[in-house]
A and B are shown apart, each in its own frame.
Chain A
């Protein structure tokens, strides 16, 4: 890794053009077996979800289900047969994509007008939890899918003045264990919620500005969050379920719109308002690379879940209508 550090940042592997609108969210689906090709879902400001074939680098299919309102979260369930998409039309659509179909089979409407992306956690075969902003501006609601029954509503204590939830991350310490939720709020604090009790376990005020994005590594009990300021904050969770600031990292330019830890927990990527993608080593938050390609704010970063580590990719979507695909640090 030291040897690679000396190199200048690479170029994108390729660039996907044709969304015709700022790209707000990206999601890979590369796990399925050989005859199937890796695909990438992109949600953009014009309300379209596009399915990119990463073999031909072209759009295979376009899903239009949010009435032209920006789509800002997509996630697949059941392999790539079903897709959840969250849009600014205050709807979460469930798409059936199996066997070439593309239709909305179900939808959940939400009343929140914020930008908070949902979070999904698989609990068991055919049972998922989805966390989403609730009707009340400062509440978070957790539903069970596919039944759509409410599991709990997470309501901060009166007078907490958290503001709206900005980002959510559902996780569980081990499979079958009780699920937790990490939530970043408008006032800059990150809160750990226990879902089974519906109770706040810990609150950490790690930013001065709203938390734009967070990601949590349940194995190392360590998470990272970015806000509109110049700081990237790394915090950890101790045995007593208390959040502590572990480290902060100063950036040159302010504004992080997305932060993602790669599945192998080795590196993390941030999407910057300064048009740049930054790569850090997750262990020590060592800056590894600054990827400079986009000509507008980068909205989202996503790592692919390809089964072969050498083919894992990083995708970044930006306001300049382009999605850049990078192949990075995957030789190890």
Chain B
């Protein structure tokens, strides 16, 4: 397209169109002009601006009704001209301004939106905006004169009406934009002349007249329907703060003269419209504005869209920056909004608002400006006053914003918060609110129920994991964001606040009532964390951090309170309750005498509390929580002190370990977490290291506690935990205290056996783990190859020579065995001892050592077993069961030292037999397990005793139970009788093998177990019975073969020579019975084994009862 650069050329082109338009005012002509205008370049058009505008303005001015279509295109055309040219004349500006405005005037006044179509409105608004931008700076200012006030007022109200009442979003936004430009706050990219002071002062005067209208309308829009979309709200907020900030700017108001200027007479009407921004006006306007701001803050701070909230931050920032003095009444509101948004969901809002707050704090607006500081502490005062009420009445969202505000104002006030905290009433209110809102939900039964089972996960023993606080459930809120917020509040309090005052106050609450104890402990934990400057984000550094010594002192006193008897030894399970009741049996005078000491009064109280009748689940749950919080507190304290905490470990580690051994899962988990915390903070690599480096403190605590009956269970728990978390290197360190434990046990067999058995159990388990299992592992690796090498050379030669010598040797062996079984060989023992020592060459050297001096751990095991023997016949079943467990472990530990084990086994035997024969089935079961272990370790030492004392009884009970189990239904497998049968059947096989039992006993075992091969027996019992036979095959394959064939014989055995009688077995030709399946299965197994040994048994096996071969 040709472009006309020079005004001459352009004129040539435009002239006909303009003339045409002047003559006939139609849409087509306007469009033609528009089309021609495209071809003219901007500079040329500038020259011809007025010329071209003339026909257009003429068209608008023509009286009479005009078609909207025409108006629209004309205004559009004007807009396009204005957007590329400048308006250089005042008159032109004024005229255009009023002409454009009149386009939208409506006959019905300003209350209603103008009747024109939306397109027209939009175009006019855009044209107006183009006009504002095209005017030269000085020219534009001429628009802002008192004389033009009515015009401006009209435009302003027109635009406001459009912005508020139109439906189309586009119109509303552009109206707001236009208004922005009109009020000289356009934020578009184009160049805007900056106003100097004088000018802005003048403009401010002028705009002040519009302030009521603008502010009210805008605030209505901001708080209006949420469906209008966030864009409009955002622009409205922006316009609001720009306008208000401009008119109410402190800078302008400061310079305002007291007296009004004499109005010039001729302009008196206009002067009436003018506002004098004197102190009175400022005061009354500020009051009204504060209402509006309040509304805006309230609605926008909870607006769903983050951009709106962000804009609110800007509003607060702008107004606090520009007019903090004139709007002093609203500053509180604004700050509240800001601090509330510091913890907003949206990261942008969050960062911006904290940035703004920080800048405010940095500029010392708060700290130097007394008014603001006053406002803040006043806010805090009123917030503290209202807090208890708000915390109970508000919903989660409300609590969240209230707490946000609280947190923000605390942060902003910094150390000045102490003014508020020093007022007892307010501190009281604040703490009461915290106590209220932090109340835990203690109805969960699971927490009380869950018990610790055996060992902890391995991960804890090796690596360090971050100790995680237990998730807490609160009574008065469920939102997960609230608790971290409360933590922050407490930490900020601790950071800036007077630590002594706060700690004193909350310690007071802690000891005041059980109802507050948990909450107070929570608060104390966070106060200390905050005081150490951990885990919080502050706006400005505090002036003086508490010294390490102060902090240590405070922590020491809190720790003392936490670990005090009354607060540490709480009833958390019904077992403990029973134990406590047991203790009640001690005469009260003695109890008193024993418990009175340094903490005499408190302990009597606590034992009285512990003896309260029947604690409810709720109270136990509450106790568990209290302990957890206190344990977490210890974790917090270690982080607060870091390595300095090492000194406090002297008193703090013992209670933590005690709780790590607690039987309530919840508590022991938390305590373990605390141990990990301590490791991290104090620079220990692992829990094990922590324990081993502080063994002296722990041992000291244990040995002192052992002296007091009431503390003994705790001491044993600590020792248990130590053993559980450590390795063999711990042993020498605790040897001393183990002797103390045994000594104490000796003094109180009846009352304390149960609690000591637990520690003995963990002691023996630890010893077994450290000294026996480790060695066994080594041995296994060493012995991996040996069985193969011993078996093969033995098997191959026999396969090669199967003749007479072999049979002869067999018979000699048989006779010898028989004699041995009858016990009439005098040199038996030497022969027995010989292979026994040869069997275990590795054990030999340790055994030799043991004769000289028993290693300490074995000595301990021996001492423990010694006690166990006494306790085997304790009255309480629970104790007996535990003793059996300990005994079993003791056997394992003492195993390598036969010289000591065998006498011990001898002494334990009578008591053990009583358990096996004459006790509760549970105890029988456990005792049988011990027997199996004992047999495995002692071997044939027990043979005679077993066959005499135990076997008849066992066989008898098995036989008598067999018909019962054969008839029983599927539920039977859950009964104790079944478990007992199963255990005995499973154990018998290995027993027979280990004890190397004689033929008579073997036959008895086989006879008893045969019944259990019946297909009617439960499957598991059949399997177990089969396993017995498999073991019997090891011991005596031939007898087993014969016995099985006696039941059922699948093959015929033709004699190898005619002179021999045919073999007649009683099982031959029997019909298929209940035993057949299992017997055939076993025979098949036997045959396979034999074949594996390359023994040609299929061709006429050597037959004990058959005639000897020739």
Contact = CB atoms under 8 A, between A and B. Distances in A.
Interface in B150-174: none
Interface stretch (B247-255, B591-599, B1036-1044, B1052-1060): B591-599
Nearest to A325: B700
A18 B697 CA distance: 12
A17 B647 contact: no
Contact of A15 (B594, B596, B704, B743): B704
A23 to B, nearest CB: 14
Given A11-B707, A11-B708, A56-B647, A17 B700 contact: yes
A179 to B, nearest CB: 41
A7 B697 CA distance: 27
B868 interface: no
B696 interface: yes
Nearest to A12: B704
A308 interface: no
A293 B708 CA distance: 12
A11 B696 contact: no
Interface in B527-567: none
A173 interface: no
Contact of A8 (B596, B696, B704, B736): B596
A190 B984 CA distance: 76
A58 interface: yes
Nearest to B701: A14
Interface in B690-729: 696-697, 699-700, 703-704, 707-708
B596 A7 contact: yes
| A contact patch SS | loop
A10 B598 contact: yes
A148 interface: no
Interface string A1-27: 000000110111011011000000000
Interface string A36-80: 000000000000000000011110000000000000000000000
Nearest to A15: B700
A61 to B, nearest CB: 16
A293 B705 CA distance: 12
Most B CB contacts (10 A, CB to CB) among A15, A58, A293 go to: A15
B650 interface: yes
B597 A8 contact: yes
A8 B650 contact: no
B593 A15 contact: no
A56 B650 contact: yes
B597 A10 contact: yes
Contacts, number: 36
A293 B703 CA distance: 10
Interface string A171-215: 000000000000000000000000000000000000000000000
A329 to B, nearest CB: 14
A164 B349 CA distance: 91
A17 B699 contact: yes
Given A11-B708, A17-B699, A57 B596 contact: no
A57 B704 contact: no
A15 to B, nearest CB: 5
Given A17-B736, A56-B647, A8 B593 contact: yes
A55 B647 contact: yes
Given A14-B700, A15-B703, A57 B597 contact: no
Contact of A11 (B597, B650, B699): B597
Interface in B97-152: none
B710 to A, nearest CB: 13
A295 B700 CA distance: 15
Contacts of A57: 650, 696-697, 700
Interface in A267-301: 293, 295
A18 B696 contact: yes
Most B CB contacts (10 A, CB to CB) among A12, A14, A55 go to: A14
B690 to A, nearest CB: 15
Nearest to A56: B647
Given A11-B704, A11-B708, A55-B647, A17 B696 contact: yes
Contacts of A321: 736
B18 to A, nearest CB: 100
Interface in B616-660: 647, 650
A328 B650 CA distance: 21
Interface string B670-690: 000000000000000000000
Contacts of B596: 7-8
A90 to B, nearest CB: 32
Nearest to B595: A8
Contacts of A11: 597-598, 704, 707-708
A14 B700 CA distance: 7
B594 A8 contact: yes
Contacts of B708: 11
A293 B744 CA distance: 12
A204 B647 CA distance: 51
A11 B743 CA distance: 17
Most B CB contacts (10 A, CB to CB) among A11, A12, A18, A55 go to: A11
27 contacts: A7-B596, A8-B594, A8-B596, A8-B597, A10-B597, A10-B598, A11-B597, A11-B598, A11-B704, A11-B707, A11-B708, A12-B704, A14-B700, A15-B700, A15-B703, A15-B704, A17-B696, A17-B699, A17-B700, A18-B696, A56-B647, A56-B650, A57-B650, A57-B697, A57-B700, A58-B696, A293-B707
Which 6 pairs from chain A and chain B are nearest by CB?
A15-B700, A11-B704, A8-B593, A14-B700, A10-B597, A11-B707
Interface of B: 593-594, 596-598, 600, 647, 650, 696-697, 699-700, 703-704, 707-708, 736, 743
